[in-house]
């Protein structure tokens, strides 16, 4: 018989504690990476949002300055109060309203005040606009703002120089 050569049995490698250590290290690296990424994302998003808000605040300040400059150059044409029947079908309702018109150039206010044809046409158009309204149409802020806008759109074309900037109500009473 032939001599048997001893076969070396492969001994199982003992589990090293370094495998557990490297797994824990990898988990810690992933968690730390997620935390840093989240923190950086929060920082940059917060910074970008703050940058967007800042110009809006600056725009509002600029609008206020522009409005103040516009008011300094503007003049007001006061119209006699209007007392009109409203278009309510269920009952007789009245509106007493004082309308003032803001124009963009106070140096030309005298021309507007002396122009009787313009004054009468403006009153006529405002009267027509008011008498088409019901008390429901104009009893809340949205209705009043819509009325203001309608009046401005109706009479604005009659103002060439100075131009009409705004329609203001200084008295507004609805008899219900």
Residue 99 corresponds to which tokens in the numbers above?
Answer: 């309308």
Residue 114 corresponds to which tokens in the numbers above?
Answer: 């002396």
Q: How far is CA 32 from CA 26, 28, 57, in A?
A: 10, 6, 37
pLDDT tens-digit profile of 13-72?
555 556 777 788 878 787 777 777 776 666 666 676 666 655 555 666 666 667 677 778
H-run or E-run covering 174: strand 164-175
Are β-strands 94-103 and 75-78 bridged in parallel, bridged antiparallel, or unpaired?
Answer: antiparallel
8 A C-beta contact, residue 95 and residue 84: yes
For residues 9-13, give the mean pLDDT.
58
8 A C-beta contact, residue 80 and residue 99: no
Number of other residues whose CB lies within 10 A of the CB of residue 94:
14
Query: 133 pLDDT exceeds 80?
Result: yes
Contacts of 57 (CB under 8 A, 6+ apart): none
Architecture category of domain 75-175 in CATH: 2-Layer Sandwich (3.30)
Distance between the two ends of the chain, CA-based, in angstroms? 129
Model's pTM, two decimal places? 0.61
- Least-confidence region, from 28-42, 109-123, 131-145: 28-42
Q: Give the confidence band of 111 by pLDDT, cuts at 50, 70, 90.
A: confident
Select the more confidently predicted residue: 123 or 21. 123
Q: Give the confidence band of 155 by pLDDT, cuts at 50, 70, 90.
A: very high
Domain positions in the chain are 22-73, 75-175
Instruction: Give the dihedral of Cα atoms 40, 44, 46, 51; nearest 10 deg.
Output: 160
Query: 4 pLDDT exceeds 70?
Result: no
Q: What is the pLDDT at residue 85? A: 93
């Amino acid at each position: 018989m032939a001599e048997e050569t001893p076969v070396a049995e492969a001994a199982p490698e003992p589990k090293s504690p370094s495998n557990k250590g490297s797994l824990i290290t990898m988990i810690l690296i992933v968690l730390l990476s997620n935390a840093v990424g989240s923190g950086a994302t929060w920082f940059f998003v917060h910074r970008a949002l703050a940058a967007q808000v800042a110009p809006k605040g600056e725009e509002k300040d600029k609008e206020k300055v522009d409005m103040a400059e516009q008011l300094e150059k503007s003049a007001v044409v006061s119209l006699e109060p209007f007392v009109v029947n409203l278009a309510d079908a269920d009952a007789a309702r009245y509106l007493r309203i004082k309308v003032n018109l803001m124009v963009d150039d106070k140096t030309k206010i005298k021309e507007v005040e002396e122009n009787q044809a313009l004054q009468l046409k403006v009153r006529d158009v405002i009267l027509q606009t008011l008498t088409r309204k019901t008390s429901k149409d104009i009893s809340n802020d949205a209705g009043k703002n819509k009325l203001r806008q309608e009046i401005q759109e109706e009479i604005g074309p009659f103002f060439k120089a100075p131009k009409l900037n705004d329609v203001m109500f200084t008295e507004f009473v609805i008899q219900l």
